[in-house]
Amino acid sequence: MLHQSASALERAVSAGETEGGPMAGATLVGLDHEEAFPEAAFELLNSAGVPGHYVPVAHGGRLHGFDELIRLVRTVAGRDLTVAVAHGKTFLGAASVWVAGTAEQAARLGEEIRRGAVVSWGLTERHHGSDLLAGEVEATRDGDDWLLSGEKWLINNATRGQLVCVLARTDPDGGPRGFSLFLVDKRELPESSYTALPKIRTHGIRGADISGITFHRAAIPGSALVGAVGTGAETVLGALQLTRTVCVGLSLGAADHALRLAARFAGDRRLYGGRLSDLPQVRRVLGEAAAALLVAEATGTVAGRSVNALTDEMSVVSAVAKAFVPALVQDTIAQLAELMGLRGFLTGRHADGAFAKLDRDHRLVSIFDGSTAVNRNALIDQFPRLVRGYRRALGNAPGVAGATTLTAPLPEFRPDRIRLLSASGSSLVQSLPEVVARLARLAGSGAVPERVASLAEELRAVTDTLHEDLAAQPRSPRDVPPVSFDLAERYELCFAGAACLWLWLNNEPVEEHAPAAAWRDGTWLQACLVTLLTRLGVPVDEADRAAHDRLAGQLLDEEPHALLTPMGVDMMMRSTS
């Protein structure tokens, strides 16, 4: 299903890239310059059936595995982040209903979305930012109904959306049980009961509808309540575990686009009597960027599958994925920007200035659905659980297998299994000693290069040390020391390493081409481990870094001007476990 859905969307989007088409680079850059909403691209995605993938199968849609949705978001974001952000917001707006809505609510909303309805998520307010429990928008009872008053601001599709899921204060005293969620249908409200606020001019995603809405004692029916009264904050935290995970598709698409543009630039640019891509330093930069994308892809893929396979651990997984992948991709974009120099930022020059646009656009991804700091703080809150789980090996082995074996059928998504804290920590990280031991046995039989196994052992040692450091870190929820955020970042790298190791062991590509060869001979894994260990501060031999050069050769020579990731989820894989 995943391969078919992604291929169908790829064909639809590619058809729209013809000159003057809604997905053509020049068209999208022009709309960005005018700060105009990409209406035609939006409709192309509707016609391609993308809205159906925002709706779980249980509610009449096509969403089963969340890795599927990440791949579809990535496909769109690989052309334009504004389009992906604007269109994908409907999933974010609906997620609370998938988590806590009644079957009737979910079915009705699913039908609306499949027909093209745009759903927004009204969480933030002008004076409170991400402090949701300080929100002032209030809902007061009016018999069986409610009266909604106040302003939600910096809301994606607040003006264009037909429905908006609003977090409102239902207890004047507030607190964790003082807020509730309401799915408000603006089409059923008198125009006098709400005001659409002006679009905000933004540095990135300039064409998106980032605006707001003010309610003036808007009468909404009791049936608009999502979940029980007072459970709004809890439901939002559960829904964020889904939306933060799906957001990694935005970063993966941006990385695809950036690497494609940089590889094309390096291949076309003439310098010193040859191509820029002939220079060893340039090839190393491109190889490092390709390896970073592979690490990000591995992390995002496992996180997406974990929604189904390790649902009760998503408080950890989603925080890791949302903090790590956008940050890694932004660093990679900056690295490629330095390679391209001024030409990457000139309007109308290389690829119509698309690189400058994606660089601006992607900076906002780290802010969506909780900033990097917010997500790392969510991880810090669970340090004691992570340590306990690692020491006692509490992990869910079948769940890890399901999350990392791409051909394994995923269980049905069960929102009732979402937990605000993970009782067992992270099964994936806890399984790292096991996967490293398996790799060592394969190296002993000659099936795996010794150097790859040695790098994996380095990662295991670093992970052991990290958990000792986590255990020694004093708990201070009100005044979190900076070192805690450093430890959270190290944990993300170890999580990503475990994802890479298990994916490599549990899967094998069917196709016979250069990317498949890089997978089988260990280049893929070696390049990923070198990237992770380098970021962890572990010295790595130059001989190991040569894996990055081999990736660059694949990128530039085997498939010029295209990125084919060896592990890519758009590749047919078969299980080897």
Report pLDDT for 490: 98
Average confidence (pLDDT) over 524-553: 96
Domains 120-232 and 247-380+392-421+497-575 in one fold: no
Asked whether the beta carbons of 252 and 296 are under 8 A apart, the reply is yes
Long-range (24+ apart) CB contacts under 8 A made by 192-195 are: 192/216, 193/217, 193/218, 193/219, 194/218
Of residues 439, 565, 548, 419, the one with CA closest to residue 497: 439
| pLDDT bucket at 368, cuts 50 / 70 / 90 | confident
Question: Among all chains, which residue has been given the structure tokens 């925080």?
Answer: 319
Average confidence (pLDDT) over 537-554: 94
Least confident of 116-130, 148-162, 344-358, 476-490: 344-358
Whether residue 562 has pLDDT greater than 50: no
Rg (CA), the chain: 23
* E strands present in 112-178: 119-122, 138-142, 145-156, 163-169
pLDDT digits (tens, 9 = 90+) for 496-535: 999 999 999 999 876 655 567 778 889 999 999 999 999 9
For residue 76, which amino acid is it? V
Rounded to the nearest 10°, the torsion over CA 26, 27, 31, 36 is: -170
Largest distance between two CA atoms of the chain: 80
User: How far apart are alpha carbons 430 and 207 in whole angstroms?
Assistant: 43
Least confident of 37-46, 106-115, 116-125, 268-277: 268-277
For residue 358, which amino acid is it? L
User: How far apart are alpha carbons 350 and 250 in whole angstroms?
Assistant: 22
User: How far apart are alpha carbons 326 and 322 in whole angstroms?
Assistant: 7
Asked whether the beta carbons of 336 and 285 are under 8 A apart, the reply is yes
Report pLDDT for 341: 84
User: How far apart are alpha carbons 297 and 531 in whole angstroms?
Assistant: 13
Give the contacts of 243 (CB within 8 A, at least 6 positions apart). Answer: 91, 92, 95, 369
- DSSP of 6-46: HHHHHHHHHHTTSTTSTT-HHHHHHHHHHT---HHHHHHHH
Whether residue 100 has pLDDT greater than 80: yes
Helices (H), 473-561: 482-506, 514-520, 523-535, 542-553
Asked whether the beta carbons of 229 and 167 are under 8 A apart, the reply is no
Whether residue 349 has pLDDT greater than 80: no
DSSP 175: S
Average pLDDT, the chain: 92
Helices (H), 16-121: 25-34, 39-47, 66-77, 81-100, 103-114
For 247-380+392-421+497-575, CATH gives 1.20.140.10
Report pLDDT for 573: 39
User: How far apart are alpha carbons 215 and 169 in whole angstroms?
Assistant: 13
Asked whether the beta carbons of 493 and 328 are under 8 A apart, the reply is no
Report pLDDT for 346: 57
The model carries a pTM of 0.95
β-bridge pairing 119-122 and 138-142: unpaired
| pLDDT bucket at 274, cuts 50 / 70 / 90 | confident
- DSSP of 182-198: EEEEGGGS-GGGEEEEP
Average confidence (pLDDT) over 252-266: 93
Asked whether the beta carbons of 481 and 377 are under 8 A apart, the reply is no
Asked whether the beta carbons of 29 and 354 are under 8 A apart, the reply is yes
Whether residue 279 has pLDDT greater than 50: yes
**Higher per-residue pLDDT: 328 or 275:** 328
| pLDDT bucket at 577, cuts 50 / 70 / 90 | very low
Report pLDDT for 510: 66
- Give the relative orientation of helices 314-340 and 354-362 as an angle to the nearest 10 degrees: 150
Of residues 550, 542, 529, 545, the one with CA closest to residue 454: 529
User: How far apart are alpha carbons 69 and 94 in whole angstroms?
Assistant: 14
β-bridge pairing 145-156 and 138-142: antiparallel
pLDDT digits (tens, 9 = 90+) for 294-323: 999 999 999 999 999 999 999 999 999 999
| pLDDT bucket at 83, cuts 50 / 70 / 90 | very high
- Cα 105 versus chain centre, distance: 27
Report pLDDT for 129: 87
| pLDDT bucket at 569, cuts 50 / 70 / 90 | very low
Domain regions of the chain by residue span: 2-117, 120-232, 247-380+392-421+497-575
| pLDDT bucket at 563, cuts 50 / 70 / 90 | very low
Report pLDDT for 51: 98
How many angstroms separate the Cα of 157 from the Cα of each of 88, 90, 352?
A: 10, 9, 27
How many angstroms separate the Cα of 519 from the Cα of each of 227, 407, 503, 532?
A: 46, 16, 10, 17
Strand partners, 114: none
Please give the structure tokens belonging to residue 472. 């020694």
Of residues 81, 126, 68, the one with CA closest to residue 354: 81
User: Was domain 2-117 assigned CATH 3.30.950.10?
Assistant: no
Average confidence (pLDDT) over 470-476: 87
User: How far apart are alpha carbons 24 and 236 in whole angstroms?
Assistant: 36
Report pLDDT for 560: 37
Helix (H) or strand (E) holding 390: helix 383-392
**Higher per-residue pLDDT: 567 or 249:** 249
Note the CATH architecture for domain 120-232.
Beta Barrel (2.40)
